[in-house]
Chain A
Amino acid sequence: GESVGLHLPTLSVQEGDNSIINCAYSNSASDYFIWYKQESGKGPQFIIDIRSNMDKRQGQRVTVLLNKTVKHLSLQIAATQPGDSAVYFCAEQFTGANSKLTFGKGITLSVRP
């Protein structure tokens, strides 16, 4: 029979615009957060991270914002380019003993030329 896969939510933006990708995390004890980018058929690639003692961190063209009050994480990409098209995952971790990353389900970013 035919199988139907789940579809990730998609964010479509115009090339050159800024993108904002949002993520709600689940564990209030999490103290370390990461954004990954995954291109089709490849492994996830680290973009930027932030620890819970910060609420903002900037990289090259990317900014991560952390709001611990509402357990919300966002990734802002400035001047979005076609090469930014990918699936983006947020991940959270409580860096205690036997800690492990918990990944969100992912969001597809599609950049229109």
Chain B
Amino acid sequence: DGGITQSPKYLFRKEGQNVTLSCEQNLNHDAMYWYRQDPGQGLRLIYYSQIVNDFQKGDIAEGYSVSREKKESFPLTVTSAQKNPTAFYLCASSTGLSEQFFGPGTRLTVL
């Protein structure tokens, strides 16, 4: 089955720790995206990548980092510089000219 997967589903982090969220797709999509969603709110773009080895900052990139070494993978690292990291994180992929397909999300909680 083709699709986009995220892991883990739930993640707990101590303050001051970096954590990495995984996103993998087998849809052969060039573009991949990371969004953050807070309770009762819409999606805010963190980073996006339109092609391997290239990525751009979104609207709220501070405190986050990404890499795009493979077409299938777009991991997101939440660093200790992100002051309020507790949120629901969503990864998406697309051909770039049509709808984005979303993964199931990772819920990150800072203890």
Contact = CB atoms under 8 A, between A and B. Distances in A.
B97 A46 contact: no
Given A105-B41, A105-B42, A100 B58 contact: yes
Interface of B: 33, 38-43, 45, 48, 50, 56, 58, 90, 92, 96-105, 107
Given A95-B97, A98-B50, A100-B58, A43 B104 contact: yes
Contacts, number: 52
Chain A, interface residues (CB within 8 Å), range: 20 to 34
B43 A100 contact: no
A28 B100 CA distance: 21
A106 B100 contact: no
B99 A49 contact: yes
Question: Binding site of B, secondary structure by majority: helix, strand, loop or mixed?
Answer: loop
22 contacts: A5-B38, A6-B40, A7-B40, A8-B41, A32-B98, A34-B100, A36-B102, A41-B105, A42-B105, A43-B90, A43-B102, A44-B43, A44-B90, A45-B102, A46-B101, A49-B99, A100-B33, A100-B48, A101-B100, A104-B42, A105-B42, A106-B42
Interface of A: 5-8, 32, 34, 36, 41-46, 49, 89, 95, 98-101, 103-106
- Which of the listed residues B42, B98, B101 has the most CB atoms from chain A within 10 Å of its own CB? B42
A10 to B, nearest CB: 11
A101 B102 CA distance: 13
Contacts of A99: 96
Contacts of B92: 43
B40 A8 contact: yes
